[in-house]
Amino acid sequence: MMTPDIEIEALTSDENGLENVLLVDDNPINLQILYKTLQNSGYKLLIASDGETALKIANEVHLSLILLDIMMPGIDGYEVCEQLKSNPQTANSAVIFLSALEDSGAKVKGFAVGGVDYISKPFQADEVVARVRNHIKIQRLERQLARRNVELEAENHQILNAVSEGIIGLDQQGRITMLNPAATVICGWSAADCLDEQLSTLGLFNTSLYEQLPEHLLLPYRSYRMGQSAHSDMEILTRRDGAQVPVSMTSTPRAEGGAVIVLRDISDWMESEEALRMAREELESQRQMVSHMERLTVTGEMAAGIAHEVNQPLTAVINYANVAIRLLDERGQGGVDRDKLLELLDKLNIQAVRASDVIQRVRSYVKEPLAGKVEVDANEMLRKVIALAEVDSRINDVSVHFESQADLPKVDIDLVRIQQVCLNLIRNAMESMVAVDNRQQGVLVRTELKDKAIYIYVMDHGQGISEEVEEGLFTPFYSTKPNGMGIGLSICQSIVQSNGGEIGFTRNPDKGVTFYFSLPIK
């Protein structure tokens, strides 16, 4: 029989946070031995002499461990263990069986009904303490692990609720197992309405692009059925209300099967991209307008020379025409000298073509730039620009020489605007030599192929560039000319960079500077 003080202690709950250990044996001597063996081990010890009492205590007190005798009157240890494990309230209590039976079948049955260990009678004190201590430690670790799992699950739930991306969980058959709040907003479906439904039945991809598309062609299928990761920068998702939403989608397989889909609403990004595209188009339009203004300015500066160039052949045309008229007037005095008349008409035609060439060169330079790039021969382009610059060349008495590298590959460029760069650099070079004595050396223009680009150099022997001027050379509205707008070199830089090249200059060893720019080749 149990002593009264022990019986009272058995029904007392642990108020000091100690582990509760229940000792169950129908033999009072065995109970006393177990009690004395464990009483200083730091546990709250409870005792029971039969199975019914043990079950009652287990239902009233949370037990970490039960030392349970197998052979007892009434309910034996096996049945007690089975009832404990079938009750969720007591199922987590560890059970160590106590028995004098050496039959291995008894031990196997003990493990089968839920026991974790087995101690043979008669007891060895050190063995009892060691086994109890190990299983108490395991119990503590399991509780810590369970508590941490709950915490992690709560943290994961908070994270899923907080992220702005929509997250959808799928099982191996493509059924929806979870949606976070962002996913319900993006898809327009509540979690309650689509859990356990096939993803393909929600009509999320039921657009004209995906209409009647079989499930195995949907992007997530590769993940939840084939175990492959898949990504799309843009998919058109149809919400439950029929509205269409552009999303980026990533589908990743899960180790345990199924997949996780991450959806990001890219509506704002697409609006920003469209606004950026329109801004770029507006900027390009403004650049072309400023570039066109610069060409008009250059043409205005060249107006006097152009007028002189055109006036000379036109004067010759008038003179040849007058001579031809006189020849025709002399027809009655012996007839027309046909050969002389043809010679006059041929000369008249040459001068008319000469005037036309000047005008055509100016028109091609001033006209609005054509959209897009064209494939051109850099050497041929420069020959036409140098011909256009002949007006300034004669006015400034500075010749222009051209050294071309043969067999250059063609380049894709904005032809009219690159011509503008070339003309600006050549005119600047000639102007820098107007006030020097060695203007007869002229300006040298040359081409060179290096570093997968065609380089165009414009070298003068003029006054050079001071360090003060160098700092603002490519800065808009900075000019060293009295009436200059200060946008020439700035525009040149913008044009070259928009064609994928670079522009710069170097000081010549003797005198003057060399400006250069590059045009990348394919």
Domain residue ranges of the chain, discontinuous segments joined by +: 4-146, 163-265, 369-522
Mean pLDDT of 393-406: 87
Is pLDDT above 50 for 14?
Answer: no
Q: What is the rounded CA–CA span in Å between residue 260 and residue 276?
A: 33
Q: What is the pLDDT of residue 217?
A: 58
What is the mean pLDDT of the segment spanning 319-342? 66
d(C-alpha 193, C-alpha 181), whole Å? 13
Give the residue among 203, 200, 254, 263 at the shortest CA–CA distance from 229: 254
Q: Which residue type is seen at 154? A: A
Confidence at 20, pLDDT banded by 50, 70, 90: very high
Residue 334 has pLDDT above 90, yes or no: no
Pick the closest to residue 464 from 424, 399, 508 (CA basis). 508
The residue ranking higher by pLDDT, 240 or 208, is 240
The per-type count for the chain, helices as H runs and strands as E runs, is 17, 17
Beta strand extents in 145-243 (DSSP E only): 166-170, 176-179, 230-238
Question: Which amino acid is present at 282?
Answer: E
- Fold held by 163-265: Beta-Lactamase (3.30.450)
Count other Cβ atoms within 10 Å, centred on residue 439: 19
**The dihedral formed by the CA atoms of 178, 183, 189 and 191, expressed in degrees to the nearest 10:** 30
Over residues 221-225, the mean pLDDT reads: 74
What would the mean pLDDT of 12-16 be, rounded to a whole number? 45
Residue 492: CB partners within 8 Å, gap ≥ 6?
A: 420, 421, 424, 425, 474, 503, 517
Q: Is the pLDDT of residue 241 over 60?
A: yes
Beta bridge partners of 252: 260
In angstroms, the CA 254 to CA 169 distance is 9
Query: What pLDDT does 365 receive?
Result: 57
The CATH superfamily of 4-146 is: Response regulator (3.40.50.2300)
Q: What is the pLDDT of residue 53?
A: 92
Residue 393 CB coordination number (10 Å): 20
332 pLDDT tier (thresholds 50, 70, 90): low
Same fold, 4-146 and 163-265: no
What's the N-to-C CA distance of the chain in angstroms?
101
With tokens 């059925």, the residue in question is: 225
What pLDDT, on a 0 to 100 scale, did the predictor assign at position 481?
Answer: 54
Give the H/E segment covering residue 24.
strand 19-24
Q: How far apart are CA 132 and CA 64, in angstroms?
A: 10
- The per-residue pLDDT for 484 is 43
489 vs 503: CA distance, rounded Å:
10
Between these two residues, 146 and 471, which has the higher pLDDT value?
146
Residue 516 has pLDDT above 70, yes or no: yes
Q: pTM for this one?
A: 0.40
Is residue 392 a contact partner of residue 432, using CB atoms and an 8 Å limit? no
- Smallest Cα–Cα separation from 56: which of 17, 87, 16, 33? 87
Tell me how far the alpha carbon of residue 128 is from its chain's centroid: 63
- Per-residue pLDDT for 410 more than 90? yes
Note the pLDDT tens digit of each residue in 87-97. 999 998 999 99
pLDDT of residue 450: 92
Which CA distances in Å does 419 have to 349, 359, 411? 29, 16, 13
Confidence at 152, pLDDT banded by 50, 70, 90 = confident
The CA-CA-CA angle for residues 410, 411, 416, to 5°, reads 115
Q: In degrees to the nearest 10, what's the CA dihedral of 224, 230, 234, 239?
A: 10
Report the range of poorest mean pLDDT among 36-45, 212-221, 420-429. 212-221
Please report the pLDDT score of residue 35 as a whole number. Answer: 92
Tokens 């188009």 identify what position?
281
Options 3.90.25.10, 3.30.565.10, 3.40.50.300, 3.90.1170.50; CATH of 369-522: 3.30.565.10
Sheet strands side by side (includes 19-24): 43-48, 19-24, 65-69, 94-99, 117-120
What mean pLDDT comes out for the span 25-38?
90
Tokens (6 digits) for 403: 């050294």
